[in-house]
Amino acid sequence: MPLVSHNDLPTFNRLRQNGQTILQPTRASQQDIRELHIGLLNMMPDAALEATERQFFQLVGESNPIAQFYVHPFTLDELPRGEKARAHIDKFYEPFDKIREDGLDALIITGANVTHPDLAQEPFWEPLSDVVNWAHENVTSTICSCLATHAVLQHSHKQKRQPLGFKRWGVYPHRVIHRTHPLVHDVNTRFDVPHSRFNHISRNQFEAAGLHVLVESEAAGVHLATSRDGFRVIFFQGHPEYETISLLKEFKREVLRYATGARRDYPPFPDNYFLSREQAILNEFRLRLDNALGNDSALPELPEHLITGHLDNTWHDTAEGIIGNWMGLVYQITHRERKLPFMDGIDPDNPLGLDL
C-alpha cells in the first residue's frame, strides 16, 4: 500500500515523480486501512543520506497492499554532518526521543562509514546500542543493513566482523537455502544482490551466534539471516535497497578520489555490473583521464549518460518481495497500539510459530 507523505520530505516528491503512489494525509485519513509506522535510522554519510532514504522508502512503499506506511527517518547526533545535511535532518527528521515516545511497528537501521577497525570505538557505538536495546524491547521486528548487521552481531552476539583484505564490490548471485521461511516465500530461489564492503561476518559466525542463515552466495557469503526466533531481528549483509545506478555512483566517487590523489590506484570495476560495451567506454575514459592528469590539463567528465541506460537491475523485484513478506508478517503480529506480540501470549522465542 502507498506511503503517506506525512511531512514535506523531498523524497516523497521524488518518488511521486518516478511514478510511485504517495498518499496525502487528508486522503489517507479517509481510508479504512491500518497504519504501520516504520522507523528508518539513517546513519549514512552526507553524500548518501538522501539516496539511502529514498531507496528504503521506495522498497517499503512498493512492498505490500494491506497497510498505509508512515516512515519516520531519524539519525544519531554523534555522526558528523555538514551544513546541508544538518539542515535536511533538522527540517525533516525526527528526534529519537519522539520516536521512542510514539513507538514503532518496525525499524530499519542503515549502514554507516567507519574510521576504526573496532566498531566499539566509533562515536556512534553507544547511541546505536541504545537504539538497538530499545528496539529489542519495544519494536516487533528490526532490519539491520550491512554495517548495522556487523554492529549488532558484535553488540548482541560478541561476533566481530573480519577484514576481507579487499573490497567486495559488485552484483553477486545468491541462493535461498531455507526455503520454508516466510520471509523468502514466493521469491526467486536464485537471485542477485549488490554488495559493497571491506569486512564480513562469515556463515560460521552467524551460526555460532545461533542465527538462521536464509540466503547465501558462494562468492559473497551470507546475505540474509534472522535472529534465533526467526523474525525479531533480520540481517542483510548486501544492499538489496540499491538503485540500478548506485554502484555507478560509487564507482564515480572512487574515480574522483583517484583524480584528486585521495587514492593511488584507479578503482576496479564492480564485479558483474558493467557489460563489455560499458567497460570499453570506461577504459577509454580512463586513458583520457590519465592523459589529462599527466599533462596537467582539464579533467574529462565520466560519461554517465553513455552508461546508465545500459545497466541491468537483477535484484529489485526479489528485494521488494522479501520486504513485502516482512511487512505482511509485521502486520499480522503487531497490535494497532504497537504493543509487542508476546504481550498477548505469543511465544517471544518463536512469534511466527516456525519449525526452527
pLDDT in tens, 149-185: 999 999 999 999 999 999 999 999 999 998 889 899 8
Query: Within a domain: residue 230?
Result: yes
Within 10 A of 161 (CB to CB), how many other CB atoms are there? Answer: 23
Q: Please indicate whether residue 144 is annotated as part of the active site.
A: no
Element (H, E) at 168: strand 162-176
Q: Which segments of the chain have a pLDDT < 50?
A: none
The CA-based angle 350-354-356, given to 5 degrees, is 90
Angle formed by the axes of helices 46-61 and 246-259, to 10°? 170
C-alpha cell read off for 212: 538462521
353 occurs within a structural domain? no
Q: Residues 122, 241, 254, 320: which is the catalytic one? A: 241
* Residues 293 and 201 placed together within one structural domain of the fold: no
Q: For 313-353, how does the pLDDT look when each residue is reduced to its tens digit (9 = 90+)?
A: 999 999 999 999 998 888 877 766 666 766 566 677 777 76
Residue 301 is part of which domain span?
246-310
Does this model's pTM top 0.85? yes
- Cβ neighbors of 93 (< 8 A, separation 6 or more) are 42, 73, 74, 75
* 173 shares a domain with 117: yes
Verify that 210 and 332 share a domain, yes or no. Answer: yes
Q: Is residue 205 domain-shared with residue 264, that is, in the same domain?
A: no
In this prediction, residue 328 carries a pLDDT of 84
Q: Is residue 134 one of the residues assigned to a domain?
A: yes
Indicate which residue of 37, 174, 212, 239 is catalytic: 239
Looking up residue 140, the CATH number of its domain turns out to be 3.40.50.880
Mark whether 66 and 214 lie in a shared domain: yes
Active-site residue, from 50, 146, 181, 212: 146
175, 115: one domain: yes
> Number of helices (H) and strands (E), helices first, in the chain?
11, 11
Query: Per the structure block, which three cell numbers stand in for 36?
Result: 504501520
Enclosing H/E stretch for 215: strand 212-217
Active-site residue flag, 239: yes
Contact 38, 106 (CB under 8 A): yes
Domain count, the chain: 2
CA–CA gap between residue 194 and residue 272 (Å, rounded)? 10
Q: Tell me the CA distances in angstroms from 22 to 72, 108, 141, 319, 321, one per residue in order.
A: 15, 20, 24, 20, 19
Please check whether residues 23 and 108 belong to one and the same domain: yes
Average pLDDT, the chain: 91
Query: Residue 328 and residue 142: Cα distance in Å, rounded?
Result: 14
Give the H or E element holding residue 130. helix 125-138
